[in-house]
Amino acid sequence: MKPTINVTDPKKYSQGYNGQALKVIIIKGAVTPGGTIDAANIAARAHGFNYSVATPITQADEINTRTVRETNYGRQEMGTGRFDVVFNLKANDALPTWQTLRDEPEITILEVTGDDHPDTVDGVPVILNAFVGGRIINKASATMVNQQKVLNVDVAFREHYNGAEWKKLAGDAFNYPANVS
């Protein structure tokens, strides 16, 4: 059910965000909404993040009809995402390899306001999106002359929560410009 949102700060609620003002935190293991996010961030120098969530819709085919009259929602597919991370040994060593992936815990990904963003109050960020039940599914790298070495990290996740949904789960633990019930 969609949460009820009572906006407490309309200016903050409708503002746009610059990518440089945000950060993405990848945490090994599950994160309880409202719990600490002071975990070792394995993508600590990311410079890009993209994600996609798709819900398949199928048509209900019937004889004696020329048009679609009904659609059904299919099973929620896993979402996917990609991080572009500045290569460093810490991140490279923290990411799983083929040999260790099977034993790795699921990850939780939080897209939040950055440390120096004005909406981050007393170190508490605004959570824009949360991705739960994630797995790293691919790691690639590029080395180019006169360019920064990067890691491209692809992930798949089971659940996506927008900021209001996460706020509803977390209560007052995180800074959010609306009351959500």
- CATH number, domain with residue 42: 2.30.110
CB-side exposure of 112: number of CA atoms within 13 Å?
26
pLDDT reading at 40 higher than 60: no
Residues 159-171 have pLDDT tens digits of: 999 999 998 888 7
Residues 96-129 have pLDDT tens digits of: 888 888 888 888 888 888 888 888 888 788 889 9
pLDDT band at 154 (very low <50, low <70, confident <90, very high): very high
pLDDT, mean of residues 1-8:
86
pLDDT (0 to 100) of residue 114: 84
Give the total number of structural domains in the chain: 1
Distance CA 106, CA 51 (A): 17
pLDDT (0 to 100) of residue 179: 86
pLDDT, mean of residues 45-63:
85
CA dihedral 11, 15, 18, 24 (to 10 degrees): 90
3 state SS of 30: coil
pLDDT reading at 47 higher than 90: no
Distance CA 13, CA 23 (A): 18
Residue 105: beta bridge partners? none
Distance CA 153, CA 131 (A): 15
Mean pLDDT computed over every residue of the chain: 83
Amino acid identity, residue 55?
A: T
Domain span at residue 54? 5-180
pLDDT band at 80 (very low <50, low <70, confident <90, very high): very high
Residue 141: beta bridge partners? 151
Residue 29 main-chain phi, psi, to 5 deg: 95, 170
Distance CA 11, CA 43 (A): 30
pLDDT (0 to 100) of residue 160: 93
pLDDT reading at 39 higher than 60: no
